[in-house]
Every structure is written in structure tokens, then in C-alpha cells.
């Protein structure tokens, strides 16, 4: 008989809320998904970054300026070569040789990071209205990073077009868009 069943059979004073807490604890011991692990690691890293500021910044006082500073701080650990305007290889998709242009965080990495931090903020009690990761300033910064990296590599960023619903008209094999 399980300990829970034994406690109930013996008239234990163990409360149902304690049993529920024990069940909840057992569920938390399952390994986290890759996304959840990354989100937790990113959240802890951002918290550490705020604590290391002089003076330290409380999460409740954090705004988009600290988030932007954090994103710029992360650039020093980037692995993506971003050619500057004066570089011979600026705008070339596959440069023929090395150059001294800086390594930066890739736009896609920053975009994914902001998505995880945005979710973590709200999961940790933050209100959606005050979420610094959802600020317009962050969206503008990410757009600028995306555009500048695309220009530096000579690859224009093309937004994926949404697929439109298509129907067949009276058995005709041609597809026509829905009229609204």
C-alpha cells in the first residue's frame, strides 16, 4: 500500500493539502523541456546582470533601458560577424577573407531570448502591462539589429507571407482567393 493510502487507512493527520503539495513536488522533479531549461537559465542570467549593476537594479524597477543594456552587453559573447559600413566585405554574402569587424549576437538569437524572457517575466509574477521585454523600444531595437545584419551580409530580410485560403470553383482546377 502506498504511504498516502496507508496514512488515510491509519487515520493519519496528514492533510490533503500536504498530499497535494507532495504530488506537486513529484511532478516538478520531471526534467524540464529544452525550452523551459533555457528560459530558466536566461531568466537567472538576466537577474544576475541586474544584481551586478552599480547600483543593483531590482526586478520590480527594471525597464526597457536595462533590457537594451543587457542585449548590448551580450554582444561581446556573440559569434556572428557583422561587417561595418567601411569594411571591404560589407554587403557580401560570403566574404573571401578575414576582417576585423566585430562579432555580435545574431538577430534570431536575440529575438528568441526576448521571447523567453518576456514569458518568464509574466510567469514570475510580472504584469503584462509592465513587461519591459514587451516594450516598443525592444521591438525597434530588434528590428534595427535585423536590418543592419541583413545589410551587412547583403541579404534582405523578407517577411514570410501568410498563406491565403484557396478554394476550387465548380470543379475547375484553378484556385481562386476567397473574396471578403
Give the pLDDT confidence score for residue 83 in this predicted structure.
Answer: 86
Whole-Å CA distances, 126 to 42, 59, 63, 118: 16, 9, 12, 9
For residue 77 the three cell numbers come to 559573447
User: 52-103 pLDDT, tens per residue?
Assistant: 999 999 988 999 999 999 999 999 998 888 888 888 888 887 888 888 888 8
Q: Which residues contact 16 (CB under 8 A, 6 or more apart)?
A: none
Sign of the C-alpha dihedral, residues 27, 29, 31, 33?
A: positive
- pTM, 2 dp: 0.67
Amino acid at each position: 500500500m502506498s504511504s498516502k493510502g496507508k496514512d488515510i487507512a491509519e487515520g493519519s493527520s496528514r492533510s490533503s493539502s500536504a498530499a497535494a503539495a507532495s504530488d506537486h513536488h513529484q511532478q516538478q522533479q520531471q526534467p524540464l523541456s529544452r525550452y523551459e531549461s533555457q528560459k530558466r537559465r536566461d531568466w537567472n542570467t538576466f537577474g544576475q546582470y541586474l544584481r551586478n549593476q552599480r547600483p543593483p537594479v531590482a526586478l520590480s524597477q527594471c525597464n526597457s533601458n536595462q533590457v537594451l543594456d543587457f542585449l548590448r552587453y551580450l554582444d561581446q559573447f556573440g559569434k556572428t560577424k557583422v561587417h561595418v559600413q567601411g569594411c571591404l566585405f560589407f554587403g557580401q554574402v560570403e566574404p573571401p577573407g578575414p576582417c576585423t569587424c566585430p562579432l555580435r549576437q545574431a538577430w534570431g538569437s536575440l529575438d528568441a531570448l526576448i521571447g523567453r524572457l518576456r514569458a518568464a517575466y509574466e510567469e514570475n509574477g510580472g504584469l503584462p502591462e509592465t513587461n519591459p521585454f514587451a516594450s516598443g523600444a525592444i521591438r525597434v531595437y530588434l528590428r534595427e539589429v535585423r536590418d543592419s545584419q541583413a545589410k551587412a551580409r547583403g541579404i534582405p530580410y523578407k517577411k514570410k507571407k501568410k498563406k491565403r485560403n484557396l478554394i476550387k470553383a465548380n470543379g475547375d482546377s484553378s484556385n481562386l482567393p476567397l473574396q471578403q
